[in-house]
Every structure is written in C-alpha cells, then in structure tokens.
Amino acid sequence: MTTRLALISLEHVHAGHYLTSLKRLPGVDVVAVAESDARRLFAHAGLLEGLSVIPDYHVLLGSGVVDGVLVCSANSRHKEMVLDFARTNVPILCEKPIATQAADAREMLAICQAHDVPLGICFPVRFSEPLRHAKRLIKHGNLGQVVAVKATNHGTMPGDWFTDPQLSGGGAVMDHTVHVVDALRWLFEAEFTQVFAHAARRLHAIPVEDVGLLTLEMSNEVFVTLDTSWSRPNQSFPIWGDCNLEIIGTGGVLSLELFPWTLNHYSESAGKHSAEARDGDLSLRLLENFLWTIQGRAELSATGVDGLRALEVVEAAYKSVATQQVVPL
C-alpha cells in the first residue's frame, strides 16, 4: 500500500527534516511540496529534486491525489490550511503550536470533527523512550508521590518569521512552552490548573520575547517550573537546544534529557543510581504514527485537542505576563 502525502509549506525550520524523513519511509509517495517562496525553494533544492513543487496548495484541494498532508507553515497560517484540507476530508498533521489563538484552534477542531478528519499535532517528544520509561516508573510507584518538575526547553533564536508577532503569535514562550506542557500532560495524565509567567527581551534585538520562565500547577498537585528561553548561542552551541525534565518524587528523582535520549534514575528504595541512554529520530516516529493512522493501523499520538490544551497554557502565560498575576486555567 502506497500512501500519498504532501508537504504544505517549507516555512517551518523542521520542514526539511520532515521531508527527508518522508522520503525514507517505505510506502510513502511525496506527491507534492507546496511553496512559493524562491528563497526557501533554493535552500531546499537538493531535497526537492525529483519532486513536484507547486506554488499554491489550493490546487490540491478536492483533487483526490493526496491521502494526507503535513502543514509546516508559519503559525498564523495553520488555521486556513487546516480548515481547507479538513473540508475536503484529507487527514492532517500540523506543526505546533496548533494556532496562535485558542479560539482559532477550537474552530479548527470543530471543522475537523464535523468532517471526521484526523488532526494530529507535531509533538515528537511523546516518542522519547526515556519519557515512556519514566511513565512506567511513575505508574508503578517507583518514585513514590511525584511533587515537582523542573523543566527546560532552551533553543537558539530561530529568526525569520518566528520573530514576527503577526506570523508567530509570540516569541520563545509560544515556541517552546507547548512541547513540555504536552509531555507532562501525557506523562501524568493530568491537566494544568494555573500559571504564573515572566517573559522579556534580553538577548536579541527582536520584537518578541526571547526569555521566559513559567511556574505552573497541575491537577495532580505537581508543581512545575519551565524555562522556555531562546538562550543558546546561535553559532557555537553544538545542538539547537534541549528539552530536559527533572522529576522529583518522595521516593526518588528522574533526570531526563530528551535530545538525545538519556534517563538517570536515582532510586531511594534500590539505594542506587541507574542510567539509560539511547539515540533515535523522534520526528521519524511521529511521521510513522501519522502514516499508520491514515492506513488505519494506529491512532494519532497527539491530537488537535492536545494542541488546544497546550495553547491554552501559552495564552494563560501571556495573560500572566501582562497582568503580573497568577492565571487559572
């Protein structure tokens, strides 16, 4: 069985990697890449060789030539693209955040549900083996009662449309909060109940914030701190950033580095430290899941509802920054 997929826009920094991964997946035919920006086409010229490149994705609507699409546009453009493909009954995998406003995300969900169209969100962290191992340990009581999480999602400042508030919806808080929020919702099967946030522009001369610090509480009474900053040097840092979690329980501590995969378990009951380290391509697993969902072999790892819940936390964080108050969810 061959599944026909199209990549809609090369705007997102991960678009090239997704395209590389799609070309590696057996049973996938990349039937089109929709992009009109000559700069982006030139930057990805090697990857696009032999593929059909179209300037306007609208020609695909109702054409019957695609079984699914991957939306990789700037954040503010997600809504229109998702609604267009949902109305033509095409399954969608959308880059995060789902939208720039929760109201738009709710409209996207409503249209997808009305047309019975799967809407997945690009949250590859769910496929991290250490995170899955951590979930098993927590479920089996190896950490005792979890009381707090210290998290970071640092990165380099991406530039381009990420620093244009009209296209991005915000800076580092918009860009990085959603990954950790989704990971912790999935890990604990709990929701966020309140947030207090600081954000500022400290490192770069850009019109959006480049540093952010959130303090959150969850429905399972776990307290969370999250540093979402674009604070990694653009030229000298060896990787783009990190996504790290330190999970503190009454019976031990888990320290997770999710890029690459590392888990350190400090167990009080065992009286020792153990470590697990691996490497792998989380985005490839994300795309496999979308492919298998289209084929009826799996369910989406993260849905539009998950995207909405993460965006609601972001909106509350920005409200907290503006009011300097704790904001309930």
Enter the tokens of residue 298. Answer: 């799996």
Q: Is 131 left (phi over 0), alpha (psi -120 to 50) or beta?
A: alpha
Strands 68-71 and 3-8: parallel
Q: What is the 3-state secondary structure (H, E, C) of 2-51?
A: CEEEEEECCCCCCHHHHHHHHHHCCCEEEEEEECCCHHHHHHCHHHHCCC
Enter the tokens of residue 245. Answer: 């979690």
Residue-wise burial string across 290-325, b where 16 or more C-beta atoms lie within 10 A, e elsewhere: bbebbeeeeebbbbbbbbbbbbbbbbbbbebbeeee
The verdict on 255 and 208 lying in the same domain is yes
Q: What is the CATH number of the domain that holds 95?
A: 3.40.50.720
Among residues 204, 218, 205, 215, which one has the least CA distance to residue 309?
218
The verdict on 72 and 148 lying in the same domain is no
- Yes or no: say if 144 and 138 are a contact pair by the CB < 8 Å rule: no
DSSP secondary structure code for residue 241 in this structure: B
* Long-range Cβ contact pairs of 34-37 (< 8 A, separation 24 or more): 34/6, 34/7, 34/8, 34/9, 34/60, 35/9, 35/10, 37/10, 37/11
The verdict on 69 and 21 lying in the same domain is yes
DSSP H or E stretch at residue 199: strand 192-200
| Distance between CA atoms of residues 234 and 155, nearest Å | 9
| Distance between CA atoms of residues 99 and 310, nearest Å | 10
**The predicted structure's pLDDT at residue 260:** 60
The verdict on 109 and 146 lying in the same domain is no
**The predicted structure's pLDDT at residue 1:** 79
Enter the tokens of residue 246. Answer: 């330190």
The verdict on 246 and 152 lying in the same domain is yes
In a domain, 171, yes or no: yes
* Residue keyed to tokens 């950033």: 241
**The predicted structure's pLDDT at residue 242:** 83
The verdict on 142 and 167 lying in the same domain is yes
**The predicted structure's pLDDT at residue 265:** 82
Per-residue pLDDT of the chain (329 residues; tens, 9 = 90+): 799 999 999 999 999 999 999 998 999 999 999 999 999 999 999 999 999 999 999 999 999 999 999 999 999 999 999 999 999 999 999 999 999 999 999 999 999 999 999 999 999 999 988 899 999 999 999 999 999 999 999 999 999 999 999 999 999 999 999 999 999 999 999 999 999 999 999 999 999 999 999 999 999 999 999 999 999 887 776 566 789 999 999 999 999 988 765 667 878 777 767 766 555 688 899 999 999 999 999 999 999 999 999 999 999 999 999 999 999 99
CA dihedral 170, 173, 176, 178 (to 10 degrees): -90
In a domain, 307, yes or no: no
In a domain, 275, yes or no: yes
How many domains is the chain built from? 2
Q: What is the pTM of this model?
A: 0.94
The verdict on 208 and 152 lying in the same domain is yes
In a domain, 99, yes or no: yes
**The predicted structure's pLDDT at residue 234:** 76
Provide the residue range defining the domain that includes 247: 126-280+312-328
- Other beta carbons less than 10 A from residue 37's beta carbon: 12
The verdict on 228 and 298 lying in the same domain is no
DSSP H or E stretch at residue 216: strand 211-218
The verdict on 141 and 271 lying in the same domain is yes
